[in-house]
């Protein structure tokens, strides 16, 4: 009985990869970190397992038989609010861009270190726990509700609804995009480095790889700016980082 209770309390991670050796490696190391691991060897079974089991996080390979990882990501995100970390052997940035656009929360390139992967898994699970707790808290006082919005120029963020408006129009952002915009908008005109965004928004150090910040910012710009070549809201401070313009 005690063992059943303990197993229910463990966070469940779904590993979707067609290489048994990769699945075995991830299962062994993540179980040592205290997670319960379930597996799928192709895209179709990955979608079905995710919907049936409702894991706390998904590690999803891009190159999969039956259904590719990006399509799997899209289908799962249409049904579940679950963090997805893409696993890719490709260096091309296009996979990362498309993956994040479809709702993936993060990516890691093979070969990867187990220490790095474990850090990203922990950070993404923790981030979603915080978001879920905030969403399920209904007893919010009226004065606190007033503080739940951030307005900077044409940009408006509703922190309770996780909703973004630009010039009154609702913009569809992924959770990660929303968190980046929220962090920047909470301190307008203040330049934030990529390293700081990784630490504060992603929740871990990136071991020297900060491309995911630039990719995420690019996706945000495509959604909130009239002309991405001349951004007016989300500005780049060359060689330093990013900031939200207060005008």
State how far Cα 121 lies from the chain centre.
11
Cβ contacts of 3 within 8 Å, gap of 6 or more: none
What tens digit of pLDDT does each residue of 215-237 get? 889 989 999 999 989 999 999 99
Are 110 and 54 found together in one domain?
A: yes
- Please check whether residues 123 and 220 belong to one and the same domain: no
Q: Are 62 and 97 members of one domain?
A: yes
Q: Same structural domain for residues 191 and 111?
A: no
Helix (H) or strand (E) holding 161: none
Cβ burial, residue 73 (10 Å; 0-12/13-18/19+): buried
Give the count of domains, the chain.
2
Structural domain range at position 18: 2-135
CATH code where residue 17 lies: 3.40.50.2300
Asked whether residue 76 falls in the same domain as residue 30, the answer is yes
pLDDT truncated to tens, each residue of the chain (247 aa)? 444 444 457 899 999 999 999 999 999 999 999 999 999 999 999 999 999 999 999 999 999 999 999 899 989 988 888 999 988 877 665 666 666 777 788 888 888 888 888 888 988 888 777 655 555 444 344 444 446 889 999 999 998 888 899 999 999 888 888 989 999 999 999 999 988 888 888 776 555 467 788 888 998 999 999 998 999 999 999 888 999 998 7
Question: Could you tell me if 110 and 183 lie in one domain?
Answer: no
Look at strands 84-88 and 106-109 and give their pairing. parallel
Domain boundary among 135, 157, 182: 135
Closest CA to 74 of 106, 48, 99: 99
The answer on 97 and 9 residing in a single domain is yes
Same domain, 88 and 53: yes
86 preceded by a cis bond (ω within 30 of 0): no
pLDDT digits (tens, 9 = 90+) for 129-162: 765 555 544 434 444 444 688 999 999 999 888 8
């Amino acid at each position: 009985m005690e063992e059943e209770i303990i197993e229910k309390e463990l966070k469940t991670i779904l590993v979707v990869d067609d290489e048994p050796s990769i699945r075995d490696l991830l299962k062994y190391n993540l179980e040592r970190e205290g997670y319960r691991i379930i597996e799928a060897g192709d895209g179709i079974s990955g979608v079905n397992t995710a919907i049936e089991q409702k894991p706390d996080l998904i590690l999803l390979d891009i190159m999969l038989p039956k259904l590719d990882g990006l399509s799997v990501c899209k289908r799962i995100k249409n049904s579940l609010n679950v963090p997805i970390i893409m696993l890719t052997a490709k260096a091309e940035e296009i996979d990362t861009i498309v993956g994040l656009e479809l709702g993936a929360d993060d990516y890691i390139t093979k070969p990867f270190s187990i220490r790095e992967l474990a850090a990203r898994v922990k950070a993404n699970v923790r981030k979603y726990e915080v978001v879920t707790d905030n969403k399920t808290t209904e007893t919010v006082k009226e004065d606190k509700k007033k503080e739940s919005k951030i307005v900077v120029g044409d940009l408006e963020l509703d922190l309770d609804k996780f909703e973004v408006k630009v010039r009154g129009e609702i913009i569809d952002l992924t959770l990660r995009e929303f968190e980046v915009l929220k962090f920047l908008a909470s301190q307008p005109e203040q330049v934030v480095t990529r390293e700081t965004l990784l630490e504060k928004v992603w929740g871990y150090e990136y071991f020297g790889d900060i491309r995911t910040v630039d990719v995420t910012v690019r996706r945000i710009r495509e959604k909130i700016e009239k002309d991405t070549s001349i951004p007016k809201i989300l500005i780049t401070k060359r060689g330093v980082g990013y900031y939200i313009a207060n005008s």
